Amino acid sequence: MTNEESKLKEIVKERYGKIAEQDKAINAASCCGATTPSNKVYNIMMDDYSTTDGYVEDADLGLGCGLPTAFAKIKKGDTVIDLGSGAGNDCFVARHETGVEGKVIGVDFTPSMIKKARENAEKLGYNNVEFREGDIDHMPVNDAVADVVVSNCVLNLVPNKEKVINEIFRVLKPGGHFSISDIVLVGELPDALRQDAEMYAGCVAGAIQKSDYLGHIQKAGFEHITIQKEKTIKIPNDILSKYLNSEAIAAFLAGSTGIFSITVYAEKPGIRQQKPKLKLSELQNTDTCNPNSGCC
């Protein structure tokens, strides 16, 4: 890892450590929770989770730029990995889809996020959701573990996105797939935005060109690459004014540069094996311990 990559990771870890402790309303009114809040109520990037099955309000920090779990084709019994799991929001939604038969693993490199997520899981009594501290470009996960990988507005925070995508390929089972929401660019950001640490932690300056992003996925060996959803992201003028004067703002808004949230789906080649169906008695004992089984 280069010194620049290490520096960027420390910036993100420090900012998201603070986000774990601040109010959701502040996060939702800023760029991924990491910049100074807009003086109006903007949900700049996030989508509304509140009507989603499995939603847990305490785990929703107002972050993200999509609803990847809604597109992830998660089945009962699947093992799901969530990259940059934060306080556990997407993990708990995924747990609703995979059921008590499955397993959900959240990976995050911010200790305060891991602590918050584990507390949420304990309060909910979920014993098939776990959170592991580690980098998503070097996951603390064995090869071919996951049926599905999800992530919500996180890869743009990692300096080496190609390495992360290769890691996703490694941890997926043959025939497994991912659905990831992320920020990408078409055109170049003004230097004042691109070089600012706060805008990097805010999911903007770390975004790469859409064509490069999709190219990394193809190069890693994935197939059936599909953009499931795309929406334009507009940064409010009161945030832009921190970095650009009025003329530069007008030029930026009138220019051809676009900032987009995309949800991308792709599959790892191979045949996804069908899991044997659990017996009713096994399902009934998944969340509770039978004293006669010797596990208590």
- Residue 275: inside a domain, yes or no? no
Answer whether residue 125 is part of any domain: yes
Q: Which two tokens stand for residue 122?
A: 């304990």
Look at residue 250 and tell me if it is in a domain. Answer: yes
User: How far apart, in whole angstroms, are the C-alpha atoms of residue 141 and residue 161?
Assistant: 18
CA 184 – CA 249 distance, rounded (Å): 20
Give the residue numbers spanning the domain of 249: 3-268
Structural domain includes residue 289: no
The predicted model gives 261-274 an average pLDDT of: 91
pLDDT in tens, 130-171: 999 999 999 999 999 999 999 999 998 898 999 999 999 999
Q: What is the CATH number of the domain that holds 150?
A: 3.40.50.150
DSSP 8-state assignment for residue 71 = H
State both tokens at 29. 């009114």
* 284 lies in some domain: no
Q: Can you tell me the mean pLDDT for 121-129?
A: 96
Answer for the pair 93, 102: CB distance below 8 angstroms, yes or no.
no
Is residue 196 domain-resident?
A: yes
Report pLDDT for 295: 39
Tens digit of each residue's pLDDT (9 = 90 or more) over 57-83: 888 887 888 999 999 999 999 999 999
Number of domains in the chain: 1
What would the mean pLDDT of 86-94 be, rounded to a whole number?
A: 95
Spacing of C-alpha 22 from chain mean position: 19
- Does any domain span residue 36? yes
pTM for the structure as a whole:
0.84
Residue 220 lies in a domain: yes
Of 143-147, 178-182, 194-198, the range with the lowest mean pLDDT is 194-198
Looking at the DSSP bridge assignments, the partners of residue 82 are 106, 150
**Section 210-224 average pLDDT:** 98
